[in-house]
Amino acid sequence: MTTNLLWLTLLGSYIVQTKSFSKILGRPTHHNNNDYNNNIKLNISKNISNIHDTNNSITDESIKPIKNLSVQIAIVYFAAWFLLITLARFWNIPCKTSSLDSNDINNLSNINLNHEEFYNNSGSNNNDNRDNGTTISMLKSKFKQVSKIFILSLLLSITVLSYTLALTMTPAFDVTLIQNTSIFEITTLLYGVCGVAKRQNVFRNFIIMMVALIGILIVSYTNATCDLLAGKLSINKETGEVNDPFLFDRLKAALLCGLCSLTMGPFAILSHKWLTNQKLITNKKNIFAIAITSILLLVPFIPKQSSFWRDINSNNSSGWLFLILAIVGGVLPNIISIILLTKNSPPEFITTANLSVIILMGIVQGLSESGQTYVVRWEVIGYLMLTISSIILFFSLRNRK
């Protein structure tokens, strides 16, 4: 499978995954901010004695997100990894024969050889000492491997949980923008600092990355203006401020998702160091161990008195269909693409997908809301800067090995 096809699969699967999860976790699609604002205006026109009723109407169940499903969806995300063990043979993902690192195997081999020489020289009385030394070394190696899996699972579960929580509070485009920007910044920085990335054309790539980030800044800054012109938001004539009833939810989602996504930087560095050898061969046992450990870490956070089977359709009547679509068309091809790209391409090449997926999500959002989309000149400029930078980085980083 070519690198270009894997890269495109990575982008498309992320879009399918995010949009599907957003349909399950987000607010009802029929809800409109203008209708919400009109209800608020009607309530404000009432007497002060009716303020309590106004608060009750604001917290109506029809506009509340299903927050108690974010943990369950994160668990479903990791549970889908179990299918990778079956699909690995079809996708030609070679695996190590042991869950130990190659360095640990070499160390164990040296220990066994040394003990065999000692046994030949000293006689059979040292048989117990040899067995004890090998057992201790095996236990140390196992403990080391378990610690690595736990650390990686903790870092990854933080990112995934913040991702699903953010989708309950803000649209899919906002989550895509803030998450991929954070991941791109931290992974690019750590790849350079830790010596994972090749030190070629560093200054040129730095300038291109800065142009891309400025483009993202322009797009995010003009996004509210476009929503205002499209009628999604309105201006309060008395205060002159934008009437956005979910402003604080958006801020919480951006802060939560942006900060927690930074854990993907250490995850990328440590997984590159611990879970792959010089040829970047993926280990099925490690994938299974990370998935099951992440699920165990998330289980204590499942809200009490919550029913996943009942609530999944409460926000969208097609909740189960979107869940299946998210797994089959999103999670599985996304993880497989990442694994194969990591094996066949430089690690820094995957970061170009973080930039390109923002562009693709913007296009998908514009097409899905064609009647409610308004484009301004600076937004076009921001997308052009981001697109040109992504293309240059794509061809610059793809062929390095």
Instruction: Transcribe 250-266 into DSSP letters.
Output: HHHHHHHHHHHGGGHHH
pLDDT in tens, 329-371: 999 999 988 888 888 888 888 999 999 999 999 888 888 776 6
Q: Compute the average pLDDT of residues 193-215.
A: 86
Instruction: Round to whole Å and give the CA distance between 91 and 84.
Output: 9
Instruction: Round to whole Å and give the CA distance between 29 and 16.
Output: 17
Q: Is the pLDDT of residue 54 over 90?
A: no
Instruction: Round to whole Å and give the CA distance between 86 and 208.
Output: 40
Which tokens sit at 332? 């599985």
Q: Compute the average pLDDT of residues 200-220.
A: 88
- 71 neighbors 308 (Cβ within 8 angstroms): no
**Residue 207 confidence (pLDDT):** 92
Q: Give the count of alpha carbons within 13 A of 283, CB side only.
A: 19
Higher pLDDT, 366 or 238: 366
Q: Which residues contact 158 (CB under 8 A, 6 or more apart)?
A: 260, 263
**What is the rounded average pLDDT for all residues in the chain?**
75
Q: What are the distances in angstroms from CA 358 to CA 51, 70, 152, 374?
A: 41, 22, 26, 18
**Residue 320 confidence (pLDDT):** 82
Helix (H, G, I), strand (E, B) or coil at 243: strand
**Residue 287 confidence (pLDDT):** 84
- 208 neighbors 389 (Cβ within 8 angstroms): yes
